[in-house]
Chains A and B, each alone.
Chain A
Amino acid sequence: MNNGAAPLVEVRGITKRYPGVLALDDVSLSVRAGEIVALTGENGSGKSTLSKIIGGAEQPDDGVLLIDGEPTVVANPATALRLGIVMISQELTLAPHLTVAENVFMGRLPRRGGLVDWPAVRSRARTELAALGVHVDPRVKVGDLSVELQQEVEIARAVSSKARLLILDEATSSLSETATERLLELVREQGRRGVAVLMISHRMPELYATATTAAVLRDGRMVGVVPLPETPEPRLVHMMVGRELNDYYGGRQVTPGPVVLDVRDLASDDGALAPTSFQVRGGEIVGVAGLVGSGKAHLGMALGGAIPATGEVRVNGTRVVLGDPRRALTAGIGLVPDDRKRAALLPTRSVAHNMTLSWLRTLSRFGVVPGRTERRRVREAIAEYGVKTSSPNKLITQLSGGNQQKAVLGRIFALGCPVYVLSEPTRGVDVGSKSQIYGLLQKLTAGGAAVVIISSELPELIGLADRVLVCFRGAVRGECSGEQLTEQVLNAIAVSGHIHTDDSGEAA
């Protein structure tokens, strides 16, 4: 499908300025029908800006956008939709109270005589979903579906609206490995049918498994367009960050100390986590793997006191009262929840106030926050944890995802807890920031902290953890370390609950 007709979408010399910064500098890129182009680069490199311009949400200061070779002004997202440009982001845009069928045809419900033709809505939704291999009842309310299924419904809607260009903006970042694989298969299928795809993702394996081309942005410039999967990964990463990322996960020479965290029969009251026991020594990093719904997220929340739970948790021998985050914090368990937006950020507050949130109890004297000490400690933490912000007084939501996450991690790390429970600590974070976060984790354990990392990214767990616990259907079903610590083994336990399932070769 090369050459021949004009590319479906082409941008030429796109420049976008924001005050003080050039977000996009003379960027050119083309996407042909049937081509799957991965748009990569660190957070803040301009990927989102470029996709917003193509999607009509932003206007370029300079340069042209060509659709089918014709210069076109995509004035707003509605225009983009009419041109067949459909954007899917990690945030779902479905209406949870409406049915699957209603969502699929939202804004274009089939009508007859001025009234909605409900039988047609349902039957057409059923055929559309079946064609994509999405097995849901179109009459079910979207809010009752799992996040994975919701994401598939979202794709179904995009596809059934006769999308010609599909833009996926980190659409897989909140999905489990299996759901991601399903979604990527859908995307590849669209590619085979001649739909052009522009995907933004931080996950290397999925880029290599899906995309035909990688376009790399760095600091607003197009560094290069290379074919996939021929280009080796280190070279691609080098293009993205502009330097070698040796020692991505960071090495460490820590001899595990005495047991710091002792968990016995910990179970959540809602039944999502069955009684679980394990120990973590000082200086040790223990990973927790598992599919979405396997109970791994609940394990983290139960440890941090975020949800009611039973069992026995001891930190340095002292028993922790469960089900109360204040008590857990006092006992020395620092929790970083998986959903930054829902459970960690104060979106209306400054970077400084977000960081101070965790310190209020230790920082204040007689209920008063000492202003000077606070400002000093915020400055120190911003420097130490590498949070890039022009001022501590800036709104936290104006930082990139990676820097928000570093602020959230930094405020907890600064507490010096003996135990840290980190749920998806690098979700939606670019490679550069990830590497920094791994470095911070290594530093923590060097200081003798016991660290539990819950993650959906197996390479991350394998690279960081001394051993990995695998959750399956609400309980820890396996533990891997040393030779056994491979994606195949972890995946096998995660999908079946035990190791010897021949070849459930799900690994990417």
Chain B
Amino acid sequence: MSQDTTTRPEAPISGPVPGGDSTNALSRLAALWRLSGSSTGVLAGLLLLGAYLGATQPIFLTWGNITNVVASNSVVLVLAVGATFVIISGGLDLSTASAAAVTGMAYGLLLQHGQNALVAVAGALLVGLLLGVLNGVLIAYVKVSFLVVTLGTLSVFESAALVMSQGKTLNVFSRPGFAPIYRITNGDVGGIPYLMIFDVVLVVAAALVLRYTTFGRGVYALGSNREAARLNGINVARTTLSVFVIAGLAAAVASLIQVGRLTGASPGVDSTLLLTVVAAVLIGGTAYTGGDGGVGGTVLGVLFLGVIQNGLTLSDVSTFWRGTVNGTVLIVAVTLGVARHRGWLTINRGKKAQSRA
């Protein structure tokens, strides 16, 4: 839904159309596979998994379970959407889960100090923005490696969240300013959770930004070839700063959802959250080297991991297995992506043939 042009085969402009009459259908199928995005495999995997769980676990395809999967994966999804921008641009934000802990604490503290909903939400978003600016400025303008910067802020944010409340979880349920966020994260309209609607709007907006704005094109260009982007007038530093600010804002939004669902702000960082987020982006077909991928794939990656988790729970498998399964899925998915990229899995190896002058 959000992929770039390569996912959509269009009529050729010049040159020969591959395939004659007899092999038309086959070659068109092959062309479709060739042109389809790198997330096709995940989609197929997701459908297979869904079919399997639907057949073996009667509860899986119930509306209640589906909304549960969506709601419980919204935090990961929001963070992953932010991370998608960073990873496409050729970077990585290791501090995203820690940043979410800080913004969650900021929101909790503001509520505890009697602030109204608007101030508390705006405060959390502002803190997220500032954390993103901190990362972004160090990376884009001071020119320190993103790995060094975000590894450092990962640790700084994590401890800052603990310092903010002396390690205590802030219960916000009884605070009047909490009501709107609580309603949004737990309510529904006509059986459709608000959170689901929010997720869809966010993903569509992010996809449109990546696909149809100069900024989005700049993000891809940066990840694809930084020097080419620079020489063609892309503002490299500003674009880099922007993707980290987006990641910071995503952390703030994710933390609001988290607090809303738990009715309390916890200073602790779930150690698997960061890995799940990055894994989801990569499973969704976004290249870890940057320059390729999209939010649509990220949605599939999040859903894939979420459905597996859901399936394990429904099948009464110990949650201790979760990490093993997630890690294995990550490696398998990215390996298949690499294999496909090298042409091992393509039906038609049209690379050289298509390039004839």
Interchain residue pairs with CB less than 8 A apart (10) = A20-B350, A306-B230, A345-B225, A346-B229, A347-B225, A348-B290, A369-B214, A391-B9, A392-B13, A399-B355
Q: Mark B207-221, 1 if CB is under 8 A from A, else 0.
A: 000001111011011
Which of B4, B10, B212, B228 interacts with A343 by CB under 8 Å? Answer: B228
Q: Which residues of A contact B234 (CB under 8 A)?
A: 357, 360
Q: Which residues of B contact A411 (CB under 8 A)?
A: 232
Residue A382 lies at the interface, judged by CB distance under 8 Å to chain B: yes
Q: Is the CB of A348 within 8 A of B214?
A: no
Q: In the bound complex, what is the Cα–Cα distance between A391 and B16 (angstroms)?
A: 10
CB distance from A377 to the nearest CB of B (A): 13
Residue A430 lies at the interface, judged by CB distance under 8 Å to chain B: yes
Which of A345, A361, A390 interacts with B15 by CB under 8 Å? Answer: A390
Which of A18, A304, A326 interacts with B235 by CB under 8 Å? Answer: A326
Residue B189 lies at the interface, judged by CB distance under 8 Å to chain A: no
Q: Mark B1-29, 1 if CB is under 8 A from A, else 0.
A: 00011101111111111110000000100
Q: Which residues of A contact B4 (CB under 8 A)?
A: 349-350, 353
Q: Is the CB of B10 within 8 A of A391?
A: yes
Q: Is the CB of A390 within 8 A of B228?
A: no
Q: Is the CB of A306 within 8 A of B14?
A: no
Q: Is the CB of A353 within 8 A of B233?
A: no
Q: Is the CB of B13 within 8 A of A23?
A: no
Kindly specify which of A42-50, A101-109, A125-133 makes contact with the partner chain: A42-50
Q: Which residues of B contact A360 (CB under 8 A)?
A: 214, 217-218, 232-234
Q: A393-B5, A400-B357 are in contact. Are A20 and B19 (CB under 8 A)?
A: yes
CB distance from A135 to the nearest CB of B (A): 33
CB distance from B30 to the nearest CB of A (A): 7
Q: Which chain A residues (402-439) contact chain B, with CB distance < 8 Å?
A: 402-403, 411, 430, 432-433
Q: In the bound complex, what is the Cα–Cα distance between A307 and B67 (angstroms)?
A: 54
Q: In the bound complex, what is the Cα–Cα distance between A383 and B15 (angstroms)?
A: 11
Q: In the bound complex, what is the Cα–Cα distance between A350 and B213 (angstroms)?
A: 16
Q: Is the CB of B231 within 8 A of A18?
A: no
Q: Which residues of B contact A389 (CB under 8 A)?
A: 13-15, 354
Q: A357-B228, A360-B234, A398-B354 are in contact. Are A348 and B291 (CB under 8 A)?
A: yes
Q: In the bound complex, what is the Cα–Cα distance between A43 and B224 (angstroms)?
A: 25
Q: Is the CB of A18 within 8 A of B13?
A: no
Q: Which residues of A contact B217 (CB under 8 A)?
A: 353, 356-357, 360, 369
Q: In the bound complex, what is the Cα–Cα distance between A48 and B351 (angstroms)?
A: 13
Q: Which residue of A lies closest to B350 (CB)?
A: A19
Residue A352 lies at the interface, judged by CB distance under 8 Å to chain B: yes
Which of B227, B231, B287, B349 interacts with A348 by CB under 8 Å? Answer: B287
Q: In the bound complex, what is the Cα–Cα distance between A19 and B35 (angstroms)?
A: 14
Q: A42-B357, A326-B233, A360-B218 are in contact. Are A343 and B13 (CB under 8 A)?
A: no
Of listed B8, B12, B292, B353, residue having the most chain A CB within 10 A: B353
Q: Is the CB of A19 within 8 A of B9?
A: no
Q: Is the CB of A346 within 8 A of B228?
A: yes
Of listed A19, A389, A400, A411, residue having the most chain B CB within 10 A: A19
Q: In the bound complex, what is the Cα–Cα distance between A450 and B118 (angstroms)?
A: 58
Q: Which residues of A contact B354 (CB under 8 A)?
A: 18, 20-21, 389-390, 394, 398
Q: Is the CB of A390 within 8 A of B233?
A: no
Q: Which residues of B contact A232 (CB under 8 A)?
A: none
Q: A348-B291, A353-B4, A390-B15 are in contact. Are A18 and B349 (CB under 8 A)?
A: yes
Q: Which residue of B lies closest to A337 (CB)?
A: B231
Q: A20-B27, A390-B17, A393-B9 are in contact. Are A432 and B357 (CB under 8 A)?
A: yes
Q: In the bound complex, what is the Cα–Cα distance between A395 and B6 (angstroms)?
A: 8
Residue B342 lies at the interface, judged by CB distance under 8 Å to chain A: no
Q: Which residues of B contact A44 (CB under 8 A)?
A: 355-357
Q: Mark A316-344, 1 if CB is under 8 A from B, else 0.
A: 00000000011001100001010000111
Q: Which residue of B lies closest to A357 (CB)?
A: B232
Residue B352 lies at the interface, judged by CB distance under 8 Å to chain A: yes
Q: A345-B225, A398-B354 are in contact. Are A391 and B218 (CB under 8 A)?
A: no
Which of A19, A219, A393 interacts with B8 by CB under 8 Å? Answer: A393
Q: A357-B217, A358-B233, A393-B6 are in contact. Are A388 and B14 (CB under 8 A)?
A: yes
Q: Mark B339-355, 1 if CB is under 8 A from A, else 0.
A: 00000000011111111
Residue B223 lies at the interface, judged by CB distance under 8 Å to chain A: yes
The 8 A-B residue pairs with the shortest CB-CB distance, nearest first, are A18-B353, A20-B18, A348-B291, A44-B356, A346-B224, A21-B353, A44-B357, A348-B292
Q: Which residue of B lies closest to A362 (CB)?
A: B233
Q: Which residues of B contact A433 (CB under 8 A)?
A: 357
Q: Interface residues of A, CB < 8 Å — how many?
A: 62
CB distance from A359 to the nearest CB of B (A): 9
Which of B8, B223, B232, B357 interacts with A329 by CB under 8 Å? Answer: B232
Residue A364 lies at the interface, judged by CB distance under 8 Å to chain B: yes
- Residues of A in contact with B (beta carbons under 8 Å apart): 17-21, 23, 42-45, 48-49, 219, 304, 306, 325-326, 329-330, 335, 337, 342-350, 352-353, 356-358, 360-361, 364, 367-369, 371, 379, 382-383, 388-395, 398-400, 402-403, 411, 430, 432-433
Q: Which residues of A contact B287 (CB under 8 A)?
A: 348
Q: In the bound complex, what is the Cα–Cα distance between A350 and B225 (angstroms)?
A: 13
Q: In the bound complex, what is the Cα–Cα distance between A382 and B13 (angstroms)?
A: 9
Q: In the bound complex, what is the Cα–Cα distance between A12 and B224 (angstroms)?
A: 42
Q: In the bound complex, what is the Cα–Cα distance between A292 and B217 (angstroms)?
A: 35
Q: In the bound complex, what is the Cα–Cα distance between A219 and B213 (angstroms)?
A: 41
Q: In the bound complex, what is the Cα–Cα distance between A337 and B5 (angstroms)?
A: 27
Q: Is the CB of A325 within 8 A of B231?
A: yes
CB distance from B210 to the nearest CB of A (A): 11
Q: Which residues of A contact B228 (CB under 8 A)?
A: 343-346, 357
CB distance from B269 to the nearest CB of A (A): 32
Of listed A358, A368, A391, A392, residue having the most chain B CB within 10 A: A391
Q: Which residues of A contact B290 (CB under 8 A)?
A: 348
Q: Which residues of A contact B5 (CB under 8 A)?
A: 350, 352-353, 392-393
Q: Which residues of B contact A356 (CB under 8 A)?
A: 217
Of listed B6, B30, B223, B356, residue having the most chain A CB within 10 A: B356
Q: Which chain B residues (273-297) contact chain A, with CB distance < 8 Å?
A: 287, 290-292
Of listed A49, A304, A388, A402, residue having the most chain B CB within 10 A: A388
Q: Is the CB of A390 within 8 A of B14?
A: yes
CB distance from B158 to the nearest CB of A (A): 33
Q: Which residues of A contact B19 (CB under 8 A)?
A: 19-20
Q: In the bound complex, what is the Cα–Cα distance between A432 and B356 (angstroms)?
A: 12
Q: Which residues of A contact B223 (CB under 8 A)?
A: 348
Q: Mark B124-147, 1 if CB is under 8 A from A, else 0.
A: 000000000000000000000000
Q: Is the CB of A357 within 8 A of B348?
A: no
Q: In the bound complex, what is the Cα–Cα distance between A364 and B215 (angstroms)?
A: 10
Q: Is the CB of A379 within 8 A of B229?
A: no
Q: Which chain B residues (153-191) contact chain A, with CB distance < 8 Å?
A: none
With A306-B230, A343-B227 known, 16 other A-B pairs at CB within 8 A are: A20-B353, A44-B357, A304-B231, A343-B231, A346-B228, A346-B291, A347-B291, A349-B220, A353-B220, A364-B214, A369-B213, A382-B14, A390-B14, A390-B354, A393-B5, A393-B35
Q: In the bound complex, what is the Cα–Cα distance between A17 and B353 (angstroms)?
A: 8
Q: In the bound complex, what is the Cα–Cα distance between A25 and B93 (angstroms)?
A: 51
Q: A23-B353, A337-B231, A403-B357 are in contact. Are A349 and B14 (CB under 8 A)?
A: no
Q: Is the CB of B232 within 8 A of A325?
A: yes
CB distance from A239 to the nearest CB of B (A): 16
CB distance from A325 to the nearest CB of B (A): 5
CB distance from A370 to the nearest CB of B (A): 9
